């Protein structure tokens, strides 16, 4: 079982890359986009797309150079509308939503208006093609239906990303529909699936983890959540695709790491401060597994 790290800030890439870690399992887009400070659609309207593309490509390059040849899995933008509104010009482009968590976000956004997503793909192409850093891969967040995945893949094909055999496409598993139809999602063409245990727990148990009244009900080790994780990991193994997890849970609960390893997860991705602790958890879990065999 490999150990990956979750990152978002280019400035820490070089230091974290020196640690005993096998790659970046989750590179969040949001920090870099927030650093630009302007809503991407405002930049598009002002014909300043290049600013967005170059800034993002520069950030991606920093991560890929620091970790090369280890993989860097970039998760495309998953801002919710309330988060996008904080950027300059955001209020002009974002709808008012009662429940942004389950609103206009993730893959649905790319399909409703693909312009921002296409800028991200441009940045990826610069890093992979022009700079030759082919350790950069893409992960699609919050994909509600198999049809959404198929349509997102059409955009990737149009941008010529899928023709490259070294390119790997990942999908976040964070909605119960992903778990229920995991075989169908994989069949639509994926190289890896990564369990977002925070959102998956929230949506499986119907618990808002930011609501202090419900703190005690948010538990990533609830039987329904564990069942979901096991189903996804085993389906991925059967289909020969990679599986990972990138929520808080593994760095908090050694007993969960033991289960994940026993189910056959390919990698576990944690925050930089949890690297050495989780490395120990994984080693212990693998040792336990060998004893049982």
Q: What is the pLDDT of residues 250-272, one digit of tens each?
A: 999 999 999 999 999 999 999 99
Give dist(CA 272, CA 98) in Å, integer: 34
Which percentage of the chain shows pLDDT scores above 90? 95
Whether 134 shows a pLDDT value over 90: the answer reads yes
From the list 250, 29, 24, the residue with the least C-alpha distance to 123 is: 29
Where residue 208 falls among pLDDT bands split at 50, 70, 90? confident
**In which band, very low, low, confident or very high, does the pLDDT at 293 lie, cut at 50, 70 and 90?**
confident
Q: How many CA atoms lie within 13 A of 13 on its CB side?
A: 24
> Nearest-CA neighbor of 54 among 131, 109, 111, 1?
131
pLDDT at 210: 81
Structure pTM?
0.97
| Residues composing the chain | 293
Report CA dihedral (250, 188, 104, 141) to the nearest 10 degrees.
30
Average pLDDT over residues 50-55: 98
CA distance 76 to 272: 20
At 59-113, the pLDDT tens digits run: 999 999 999 999 999 999 999 999 999 999 999 999 999 999 999 999 999 999 9
Q: What is the pLDDT of residue 196?
A: 98
Question: What's 124's DSSP letter?
Answer: H
The pLDDT value recorded for residue 276 is 96
Instruction: Confirm or reject CATH 3.20.20.60 for domain 2-292, answering yes or no.
Output: yes
What does the pLDDT read at residue 214? 87
Q: What is the pLDDT of residue 190?
A: 99
Q: Please report how the helices 254-263 and 275-292 are oriented relative to each other, as an axis angle in degrees rounded to 10.
A: 50
pLDDT at site 61: 99
Average pLDDT score over residue span 237-252: 95
The DSSP output letter for 8 is: -
Low-confidence winner among 28-37, 86-95, 149-158, 202-211 (lowest mean pLDDT): 202-211
Whether the bond between 38 and the residue before it is cis, its omega within 30 degrees of 0, is no
Residue 11 structure tokens: 């400035």
Residue 169 parent element (H or E):
strand 169-173
Q: Which residue has the tokens 């978002």?
A: 8
How far is Cα 116 from Cα 273, in angstroms, rounded to an integer?
32
Residue 212 CB contacts under 8 Å (≥ 6 apart), including other chains: none
Give me the pLDDT at residue 205, please: 96
Using an 8 Å Cβ cutoff, are 76 and 107 in contact? no
Average pLDDT over residues 44-51: 98
Helix intervals (H) in the chain? 13-17, 30-36, 40-45, 49-67, 81-84, 90-93, 106-112, 115-125, 146-158, 176-180, 182-187, 197-205, 223-239, 249-252, 254-263, 275-292
The whole-number pLDDT of residue 215 equals 81
Report the pLDDT value the prediction gives residue 275, as an integer from 0 to 100: 97
Mean model confidence pLDDT for the chain:
97
Share of the chain above pLDDT 70, in %: 100
pLDDT of residue 126: 98
Distance CA 174, CA 21 (A): 24
Q: Return d(Cα 110, Cα 142) in angstroms, integer.
A: 11
Contacts of residue 224, Cβ cutoff 8 Å, sequence gap at least 6: 204, 205
- CA 206, CA 132: separation in Å to the nearest integer? 44
Considering only residues 152 and 99, tell me which one the structure prediction assigns the higher pLDDT: 152
pLDDT band at 191 (very low <50, low <70, confident <90, very high): very high
Place of tokens 């995991």: 182
Per-position DSSP letters for 233-288, written without gaps between them = HHHHHHHT-EEEE-SSHHHH-HHHHHHHHHHT-SEEEE-GGGHHHHHHHHHHHHHH
Q: Residue 212 pLDDT > 90, yes or no?
A: no
């Amino acid at each position: 079982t490999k150990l990956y790290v979750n990152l978002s800030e280019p400035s820490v890439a070089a230091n974290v890359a020196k640690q005993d870690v096998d790659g970046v399992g989750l590179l969040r887009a949001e920090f870099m986009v927030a650093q630009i400070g302007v809503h991407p659609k405002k930049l598009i309207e002002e014909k300043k797309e290049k600013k967005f593309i170059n800034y993002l490509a520069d950030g991606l390059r920093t991560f890929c150079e620091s970790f090369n040849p280890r993989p860097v899995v970039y998760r495309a933008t998953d801002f919710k509308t309330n988060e996008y509104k904080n950027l300059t010009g955001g209020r002009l482009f974002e709808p008012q939503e009662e429940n942004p968590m389950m609103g206009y976000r993730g893959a649905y956004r790319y399909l409703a208006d693909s312009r921002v997503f296409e800028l991200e793909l441009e940045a990826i192409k610069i890093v992979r093609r022009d700079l030759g850093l082919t350790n950069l891969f893409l992960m699609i967040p919050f994909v509600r239906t198999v049809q959404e995945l198929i349509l997102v893949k059409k955009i990737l094909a149009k941008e010529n990303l899928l023709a490259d055999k070294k390119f790997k496409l990942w999908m976040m598993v964070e909605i119960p529909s992903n778990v229920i139809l995991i075989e169908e999602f994989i069949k639509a063409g994926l190289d890896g699936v990564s369990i977002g245990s925070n959102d998956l727990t929230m949506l499986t148990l119907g618990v808002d983890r930011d609501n202090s009244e419900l703190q005690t009900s948010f538990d990533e080790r609830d039987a329904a959540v564990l069942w979901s994780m096991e189903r996804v990991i085993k389906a991925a193994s059967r289909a020969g695709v990679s599986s990972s997890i990138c929520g808080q849970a593994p760095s908090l609960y050694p007993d969960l790491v033991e289960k994940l390893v026993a189910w056959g997860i390919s990698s576990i991705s944690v925050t930089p401060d949890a690297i050495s602790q989780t490395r120990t958890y994984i080693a212990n879990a693998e040792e336990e597994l060998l004893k049982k065999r």
